Amino acid sequence: MAGDGPSSGQERTMNYGKEHVAVYRTYAPALDGVRTIPESDFDGRDNTLLGMEVRVQVEGEEFLPSFSEGDNSKLVATDSIKNFIHHHMGEYEGATVEGFLEFVGRKFIETYSQMETVRVSADELPFEERMVPGDDGFEPSDVVFRVADGESGFGHVVLSRDNDGPVVEEQQSGMTDIELVKVKDNSFTGYVQDEYTTLPERENRTLYVALDIYWTYAEPADALGEEPERYVPPEQVSDIAQVVFDEVEVNSIQDLIYRVGERTLERFPQLESVSFEANNRTWLTVRDDLEGDAKVLREPPRPTGFQQFSMDHSDLEEAGQE
């Protein structure tokens, strides 16, 4: 943050906040009107049950006395921050995680003049409708949901104060904890072979990859979902990843995430960039002497490989010139 720092001249670190704030809303406004894409059947969600785990970090020079002098006269207790989040979940009239983060961050700055910057992030707490008997066979229940594991939407918003009030400085959306296994048609060949190489090349392997995918918008306001046709649902990005994995024979995880990034930017030109954190959890072959493509596999030992990569529309332009 800006301001007087230690005598070394380095910028001072000074912030505090509250994390792991779980908040739930029943019958939130529905997310309707999103644009559909060929890779996904997702066309909106009713938000009968909307949950998220929120983290808030606040910054401001007026908090310095609470650190240096034990003077808490400007300090908003983190318990109050938690209560503030819970209360304003009931005031939020939108339908997205990112929209709520911008809304509650803006309210913090408008309410507390000593807060100069507010960083708000959240992991969606997903729920799935349960199927129950209906008039025409099984159908989704209107009231019963399963607490879901695995994939989770993500949002991050940074707001600061200027003369006109709160402004969005940074924005990021995402889908985390995607785990995909493709049982064949994945290779890993052509890498450096030297005295340190013990891994054999594989022309056809089972590939197990864990993915976190993040994206930013050219216009941060598009992340809020107020114009649903401009909003990028995490469900659709996840569907793109699995469709590309199904369609393409890849020679590495690097190859896979690049192709997922290309497809995502093609489908959503309103995005500025897309980035990945991937982890290789590929099982090891125990037996491959069975009939056809059948194999016996086991969990890999640690350590595991990882990949990080980001790309934007310039990568599409370069690919078009080749």
SS3 275: strand
Strand partners, 216: 273
Q: Which of 157, 160, 164, 216 is nearest to 1 (CA)?
A: 160
The secondary structure element, H or E, covering residue 256 is helix 253-267
CB 63 within 8 A of CB 74: yes
Query: What DSSP line would sit under 184-210, residue for residue?
Result: SSB-B-S---STT--PPPBSS--EEEE
Q: Cα–Cα distance between 306 and 73 in angstroms, integer?
A: 46
Name residues whose C-beta falls within 8 Å of residue 98's C-beta, 6 or more positions apart in sequence. Answer: 155, 157, 171, 173, 223, 224, 225
Q: In degrees rounded to 5, what are phi and psi of residue 87?
A: -60, -45
CB 85 within 8 A of CB 57: no
- Using a 10 angstrom Cβ sphere, with 0-12 exposed, 13-18 middle and 19 or more buried, the burial of residue 60 is buried
Cα dihedral sign, 85-87-89-93: negative
Q: Cα–Cα distance between 134 and 189 in angstroms, integer?
A: 52
Which sequence positions are flagged as catalytic?
Answer: 18, 78
